Amino acid sequence: MRFLYYGIIFISLIQACQPKNVQSEWPQPLEVLKTSAGPIAVYDYEHIEPLFQRNNDTTYVINFWATWCKPCVEELPAFQQLDKEYKGRKVKVLLVSLDMKDDKVAERLGKFIQKKDLKSTVVFLDDPDANSWITKVDPNWSGAIPATLIYNVEKRRFFEKSFDYETLSKELEEVMGLEQ
C-alpha cells in the first residue's frame, strides 16, 4: 500500500513539472526553461523530429521563428489568429523558437511571449548543428526564417516565407482538403 501511495505522489510530481503548453502526446523535452510566461519545453532535433511526422487525424502548423527576426515577429499574429479560429478542430499550431541559447534565453523568450500575448504552444529548439537537420524538415529549406510546415497524413507543404492570416488559412484549408 505504501509503495502505491509513493508511486502516485511521484507521478503527480512529474506531471506537475511538465510544461503546461506542451501537448501530452508530444515527445518528452530534454529540459524545461522556466520563464516569466511559464515553462517552455526544450528539444534538440532528434527529440522534436517526431512532431514533424505525426501520423494521425490532426493537421499540424509548425512555424520556425526567432525573437530577433522582424518578418517572423510580424507574422506571429496570423498564427495566433489561426490557432484561435481553428480551436476545437483537429489543428495544432506549434511555434518553434530558433533563438540562440544563452544564459538570457529564458528571460528573453518569457518577456517576448508575454509582450506579444502568445497563446499558441511555444517550444525551444536547441540544436546548434542546423546543417544536419534543416533538410530533414524539408529538402528545399535553405535555413532562412520565417519558415512554416503544414502537414497531415494526406499532404505536406513547406513554406520559406512570411504569412498574413488570409494566406495562411488558405494554405491550411488546402492541406486539410477544404479549399473551394
Residue 62 lies in a domain: yes
172: in domain: yes
In a domain, 61, yes or no: yes
pLDDT value at residue 179: 65
Res 16: pLDDT: 43
The residues, ordered by sequence, that sit 6+ positions from 35 with a Cβ below 8 Å of its Cβ are 106, 107, 109, 110, 113
Q: Is residue 1 in a domain? A: no
Question: Are β-strands 147-151 and 59-65 bridged in parallel, bridged antiparallel, or unpaired?
Answer: antiparallel
Distances from the Cα of 49 to the Cα of 28, 54, 62, 103, 109, angstroms: 12, 9, 12, 25, 22
Answer for the pair 47, 28: CB distance below 8 angstroms, yes or no. Answer: yes
Q: What is the mean pLDDT of each run of 10 residues along the chain (180 residues)?
A: 44 42 69 93 93 92 97 97 94 96 93 95 93 93 97 96 97 86
**50 within some domain:** yes
Nearest to 41 by CA among 87, 137, 104, 106: 106
Structural domains of the chain, count: 1
Can you give the pLDDT at residue 27? Answer: 84
Domain that holds residue 148: 20-176
Cα separation, 34 vs 38, in Å, equals 6
* Residue 94 included in any domain: yes
Q: Which of 25, 80, 74, 15 is nearest to 54 (CA)?
A: 25
5 lies in a domain?
A: no
Kindly report the pTM of this predicted structure: 0.84
In a domain, 2, yes or no: no
Q: The domain spanning residue 65 has which CATH number?
A: 3.40.30.10
pLDDT at 109: 96
Cis-peptide into 146, omega within 30 deg? yes
Closest by Cα among 171, 103, 94 to 137: 94
